[in-house]
Amino acid sequence: MPESVLTLLAGIIVAGVSAQWLAWRVGLPSILVLLGFGLIAGPVTGWIDPDEIFGSLLFPIVSISVALILYEGGLTLKVSELPDVGALVRNLVTIGAAITWTVTALAAHFILGLDPSLSALLGAILVVTGPTVVAPMLRHIRPAGIVGPVLRWEGIVIDPIGASLTVLIFEVILIGEAAEATHYVVVGVLKTVVLGGGLGLTAAAILVISLQRYWIADHLKSAVSLMLVVGTFTLANAFQHESGLLAVTVMGFALANQKRADIEHIVEFKENLRVLLIAGLFIVLAARLELSTLTQSAGTGLLFVTVLVLVARPLSVFVSTLRSPLTVRQRLFLAWMAPRGIVAAAISSVFAMRLESEGYQDAGVLASATFMTIITTVAVYGLSAPLVARLLGVAESNPQGVLFVGAQGWCREIASLLQREGFTVLLVDSNRDHTQAARMAGLPTYSRSILADQAIEEINPCGLGHFLATTPNDGVNILAVQRFSRVFGSAGCYQLPPEPQGSKDTEHKHLHGRWLFDEQANHTTMERNYAAGFIAKATRISDEFDYAAFRERYGQSAIPLFIIDVDRRLHVIMPESKTEPDPGDTLIAFVLDEQQDTPTL
């Protein structure tokens, strides 16, 4: 391989991952930054030319990458959510999709000036929303109720539907004759559903049986899973174009909802792989755009996207949710969440190229209009959706609540005080005596092991921003932190320091969460102090009564827990933070009841 090509490939990976890191640091939607990097690397500077680097391999690579992304999305779908969201999702991906397609096609014809066939094709492409943009937004927004699951399901299910619809319309354009085209559509739909769905279920069954009978070595599980996904996708497409996307989505869904084989390592591998795939794909596809095409059609393109945002999406949502249990506020939020992502980008690029080869001179507008839609919708929804969710009361911005893994007495004491201070709390414990006592104290609880398969799906993180693993078992705390870091982020996951016989400075320190409170605040110490009469106390710090005065009053046995700053943000105190409250802050600490004698630590 020439060194120049190797350098460009390395540049794509570096630029993609750097863009995602930058987006995380500044709090922007990652796809928006990725598109910016791609435009700079491609049409602006001419540094990257994907067609020259990849040649004829470009779109097969893109197709397989999209298949892997949808497979990972299918792994997040849980059948337990269907009773609540099934009817809504069904309406959104059928009635809603039809409305979106119709309005988008009309807008493409009258605003962009495309002929009816290309307008219909662009409408089908932009039916999709996509998990690559919806899922990160939902993790950031954390909406309450069922709107989050509805959006997640819609984003994943609509992608293979939109892709299949695009293929059918594309073939109809090429066929031309109405009778023959109708026959092709009917047969195509049946082949897509039967063959795509059947192959997906078959591949999932093969993998489950192989895992259940230990036919696959542990270090090969992810590789075999990857092999089956690519093979299933390719085989399904061989029978019916683009039915592979449905096949891999069904495969992921079937695997996620079976109970016979453990697929945790596979899920984790696919999540990491998805990050790299999205990073590379958006850089590559954005780099293929013609900057002149984007700038020349900017005015009409923005008007076209405005119709999608203000007409197509609200109309499809409100018609699809008629007579549903959703409130008006929830419907408004659903109507303000339809960003387009990688699937729309990939499909438009592929079919624009195929139509150009068939002699359609305006085919290039498909890709430019799609990318204009992606850039605008990601910017509009990504920047405004958190504020809209907060104004509508369906989510909190920067949630400050605390999830306690453990509902023992001292945790209940601390959680009760936090609740009185106005913070959302949730106590999770498999000990029913503990959870019953918590409920008697008016505290929300979840009575199941934090490591249960259902826990991560059933626990509603709305209003919760801090995850505190406080069980007496260090191993359980570590596993809980690892599982829920995908929900709260590693910066928001904490656990008690290990018991004295444990070691905090080990080569495996990357596995545990951030240490809580104080170096000596292990579970034994907290239990002993609680039995000795310690209580959770909130103290307002002022110029007259500063932190030194607090220490003088309560002694070195007091354990500072949290600081509530003047903006009512909750800060977890850690051994390494060395943070002291400022005047105006409220210090929450575990202190000896002033009516008790000071114990010996």
User: 495-538, pLDDT tens digit by residue?
Assistant: 888 876 554 444 445 567 788 887 778 888 888 888 888 888 88
Q: Which whole-number Å values give the CA distances from 274 to 68, 269, 280, 489, in the listed order?
A: 7, 9, 10, 17
Distance, CA of 207 to CA of 251 (rounded, Å): 10
Query: Do residues 506 and 481 touch, judged by C-beta distance below 8 A?
Result: no
**Tokens at 394, concatenated:** 């369906």
**pLDDT digit string, tens, across residues 393-444:** 777 666 788 899 888 888 898 898 888 888 888 888 888 888 888 888 888 8
Q: Helix/strand/coil (H, E, C) string of 99-151?
A: HHHHHHHHHHHHCCCCCHHHHHHHHHHCCCCCHHHHHHHHHHHCCCCCHHHHH
Distance, CA of 417 to CA of 400 (rounded, Å): 14
| Mean pLDDT across 469-480 | 86
**pLDDT digit string, tens, across residues 93-105:** 889 989 999 999 9
Give the largest CA-CA distance in the chain: 93
> What does 397-408 look like in DSSP terms, one character per residue?
SS--EEEEE---
Hey, what amino acid is at 173?
Answer: I
Residue 402 pairs in a beta bridge with 425, 466
**pLDDT digit string, tens, across residues 586-601:** 888 888 876 554 443 3
Coil/strand/helix, residue 451: coil
CA 84 to chain centroid:
20
Q: Percent of the chain scored above 70 by pLDDT?
A: 86
> What does 515-539 look like in DSSP terms, one character per residue?
EPS-TT--HHHHHHHHHTTEEEEEE
Helices marked H in 27-57 — which ranges?
Answer: 30-39, 50-54
Distance, CA of 545 to CA of 555 (rounded, Å): 14
Q: Can you say whether the dihedral through the CA atoms of 440, 443, 447, 449 is positive or negative?
A: negative
Taking alpha carbons only, the member of 503, 519, 600 closest to residue 559 is 519
Query: Do residues 518 and 575 touch, judged by C-beta distance below 8 A?
Result: yes
Distance, CA of 8 to CA of 15 (rounded, Å): 10
Look at residue 508 in the predicted model and tell me its pLDDT. Answer: 47
Look at residue 100 in the predicted model and tell me its pLDDT. Answer: 92
Coil/strand/helix, residue 559: strand
**pLDDT digit string, tens, across residues 269-297:** 776 777 788 888 888 877 877 766 666 66
